[in-house]
Structure 1
Amino acid sequence: MEKKQTIKQYCHQFRLGGIYNQIDQLVSAAEAAGIGYLEYTVNLLKTEAVHRDYNDTQKRLKTAQLPRSSDLNLFQCKNDSGLSKARLNQLRELNWLDQVYNILLTGPSGTGKSMLAAGLCADAVQKGYKAYFRDMEGLINMFKMKDFSASAKIEYKRLSKAHLIVIDDLMSFPIEKNHAVSFF
């Protein structure tokens, strides 16, 4: 028991949260299976890697600021929307993102453009991309404030390193000419 406590202290010191939380189960499984040192070490490191990947994904999802309805598994492809199930699956593969293509979703209100865009953004985050969901008004305000506000400057730097920025409600409110020029 004292050795497990020592291991937990080292895990805390080295910030190995995955191993720290799972050490009891890992030791019990290793003892029951009679595995060797190398396999046990691999299991320890694999546990930590899974834990860190999960935490990293959760952090990116939070930073992306996705709306609640961003699960494309719930998206219904209708004949009148002009998007087939096959095309949706093709978009979800994110090849367009790897090939640095832009996508512009247009159509009447209520057809699911925002949900589709948010879902593609969520898929990108899940696959490890730096993807962000912002509305046009928030972006314009950030551009105005980036020279005066530390938080706006941080947001500007974050977005400048993004793989994907989803801009919701593009051109849905009037923009002054000088702000439009700086945006585009």
Structure 2
Amino acid sequence: MSLLERTTAQYRSLRLTAAASGLPDLLAEAEQQELSYLDFAQRLVDHEISVRTCTRIERHLKQAQFPAEKPLESFDYRHQTTITKRQVNALLDFGFIDQRQNLVFIGPPGVGKTHLAIGIGQKAVQAGYKILFRTALALIEELELAEMKGELKKRLSQLAKCDVIIIDELGYLPMTRQARYNLFQLINSLYEYRSIILTTNKDFTAWGEFFHDDNVAVPIIDRIIHHSHIFMLGGESYRLKQKTTA
């Protein structure tokens, strides 16, 4: 076994797999550029960190279960004038996550609420946070199934391991009594402990309509808005405009 093969095997045994895989090319580059020993050592560790970071981001993006690729760079601020690029960029230091605050996007269908939620979520993943995306309907069904199995508390604990839960399209469909209770349990477990990004077509004053119970709506609203950034989005449906101009 050559020295290179033995060194590569030792790197792999230390779980430095990226350094092991890249060692031959990095050695050739170092010899060609006549790098110092320290510069070579730095490039080797930079390569390992870079590959690990990319792998982590890919894994967390998959775990987030975003329904589509919605980069913030493609958001049309010219169409949606009720929120500015500066306002969105101000959120990308992710202080709201570190301070356990929530983001709430309120507006009619098609004005970009989901695009903003996914775009911010994807940026957060790249910054090292764990995100989970769920439509409100899918989340409610998930909690109901866990409750039926007697595993609601376990599922709530699992969800709370995420730094941010994105709840999309809350308010489009009425909720059963059990669904309201389960959602309250989730919101209460995340309160001041994790962050929520919420999109809804209903202003808070109308939440009693789809909850069918102000006694449940009020404490949920209270926990969501206590530490939150609220954005009211207006305008006509962007999807409808695209379709009519096509």
Q: TM-score, normalised by structure 1?
A: 0.85
Deviates more, 1:103-112 or 1:152-161: 152-161
Q: Distance in 2 between matches of 1:155 and 1:19?
A: 38
1:34-49 alignment, distance < 5 Å:
34-49=34-49
Matched, 1:125 2:125: yes
Q: Distance in 2 between matches of 1:42 and 1:92?
A: 29
Q: CA deviation at 1:91?
A: 2.6
Matched AA of 1:173 = L
Deviates more, 1:50-59 or 1:168-177: 168-177
Q: Distance in 1 between matches of 2:79 and 2:139?
A: 33
CA RMSD across the alignment? 2.5
Q: CA deviation at 1:64?
A: 0.7
Q: Distance in 1 between matches of 2:153 and 2:27?
A: 47
Q: TM-score, normalised by structure 2?
A: 0.66
Q: Distance in 2 between matches of 1:156 and 1:3?
A: 51
Q: Distance in 2 between matches of 1:78 and 1:138?
A: 32
Task: Flag the 1:175–1:81 CA change in 2: closer, same or farther, 3 A.
Answer: farther
- Identity value in percent: 28
Matched, 1:106 2:119: no
The aligned residue for residue 144 of structure 1 is 144
Whose RCO is larger (CA < 8 A, sep 6+)? 2
Q: Distance in 2 between matches of 1:47 and 1:143?
A: 42
SS where residue 103 of structure 2 aligns? Answer: coil
Matched AA of 2:129 = Y
Tell me the number of residue pairs that the alignment of Structure 1 and Structure 2 aligns: 183
Q: CA deviation at 1:79?
A: 5.7
Q: Distance in 1 between matches of 2:80 and 2:73?
A: 19
Task: Tell whether the 8 Å contact from 2:132 to 2:165 is kept in structure 1 after alignment.
Answer: yes
Task: Flag the 1:13–1:158 CA change in 2: closer, same or farther, 3 A.
Answer: same
Q: CA deviation at 1:69?
A: 3.3
Task: Tell whether the 8 Å contact from 2:130 to 2:164 is kept in structure 1 after alignment.
Answer: yes
The aligned residue for residue 50 of structure 2 is 50
The aligned residue for residue 89 of structure 1 is 89
Structure 2: runs of 5 or more not aligned: 185-246
SS where residue 52 of structure 1 aligns? Answer: helix
Structure 1: runs of 5 or more not aligned: none
Matched, 1:69 2:69: yes
More strand by share: 2
Task: Flag the 1:60–1:80 CA change in 2: closer, same or farther, 3 A.
Answer: closer
The aligned residue for residue 116 of structure 2 is 116
Q: Which digits, 9 at most, give the CA deviation of each residue in 1:61-94, with x for residues without a partner?
A: 1111113232000001136541122212223332
Task: Flag the 1:164–1:4 CA change in 2: closer, same or farther, 3 A.
Answer: same
